[in-house]
């Protein structure tokens, strides 16, 4: 049974640039897109982070980037870790991890259609939630659509 402290030390050794952001206690690790698969597999096999809680993206138009967020949890040590990947906003490409974590298959499909991130090697890259005739990526900040009427600001 690996304890949370041991896990944090092991993380510290492998990822020098660990940071803890305000309010959320889980350590944040930023990796490069090419090293994503290898790091996630390592986290799952070595440190028993067997549960991908969720995977989503943050659209940062200010610095022309989209940031992927993978949050992992370990049933064994009850520790959490957040893996982040920064990608250029247009033409963002990252390898799929749906074979490492099966739940990633649907999370990636949703993130792909909502943010326009392409997941290379995804087994079933169809749209998940959006109707087929809706093009564009809704969760991007600059998304506009005739059916989308914004709530008027309070006076």
Q: Which long-range contacts (CB under 8 A, 24 or more apart) does 87-94 make?
A: 87/33, 87/117, 88/64, 89/59, 89/60, 89/61, 89/64, 89/65, 90/116, 91/118, 92/66, 92/116, 92/117, 92/118, 93/33, 93/117, 93/118, 93/120, 94/33, 94/36, 94/68, 94/118, 94/119, 94/120
- Is 15 within 8 Å of 84 (Cβ atoms)? no
Give the separation between CA 23 and CA 20, rounded to whole angstroms. 9
Task: Give 13 or 152: the residue with its C-beta nearer to another protein.
Answer: 152
Among 50, 95, 118, 122, contact with another protein (rule: CB under 8 A): 50
Q: Which string of x and - marks every residue 56-95 that binds another protein (by CB under 8 A)?
A: x-xx---------x-x---x--x-x---------------
Q: Which string of x and - marks every residue 3-42 that binds another protein (by CB under 8 A)?
A: ------------------xxxx-x----------------
123 binds another protein (CB under 8 A): no
Containing H/E element for 13? helix 4-14
Direct distance between the N- and C-terminal alpha carbons of the chain, in angstroms, rounded to an integer? 57
151 DSSP assignment: P
Task: Give 91 or 131: the residue with its C-beta nearer to another protein.
Answer: 131
4 DSSP assignment: H
Among 106, 118, 122, 125, contact with another protein (rule: CB under 8 A): 106
Among 52, 87, 112, 117, contact with another protein (rule: CB under 8 A): 52
CB of 13 to another protein, least distance (A): 25
Total of residues contacting another protein (CB under 8 A): 41
Q: Which residues bind another protein (CB under 8 A)?
A: 21-24, 26, 50-54, 56, 58-59, 69, 71, 75, 78, 80, 101-103, 105-106, 114, 127-131, 133-134, 138-139, 141, 143, 145, 147-151
């Amino acid at each position: 049974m690996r304890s949370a402290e041991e896990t944090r030390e092991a993380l510290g050794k492998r990822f020098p640039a660990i940071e803890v952001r305000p309010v959320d206690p889980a350590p944040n690790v930023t990796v490069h897109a090419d090293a994503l698969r290898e790091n996630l597999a390592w986290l799952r096999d070595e440190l028993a982070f067997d549960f991908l809680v969720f995977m989503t993206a943050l659209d940062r138009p200010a610095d022309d980037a989209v940031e992927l967020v993978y949050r992992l949890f370990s049933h064994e040590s009850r520790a959490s870790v957040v893996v982040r990947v920064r990608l250029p906003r247009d033409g963002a490409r990252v390898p799929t991890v749906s074979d490492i974590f099966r739940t990633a298959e649907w999370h990636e499909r949703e993130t792909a259609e909502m943010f326009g991130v392409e997941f290379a090697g995804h087994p079933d890259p169809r749209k998940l939630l959006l109707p087929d005739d809706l093009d564009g990526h809704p969760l991007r900040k600059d998304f506009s659509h005739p059916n989308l009427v914004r709530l008027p600001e309070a006076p």
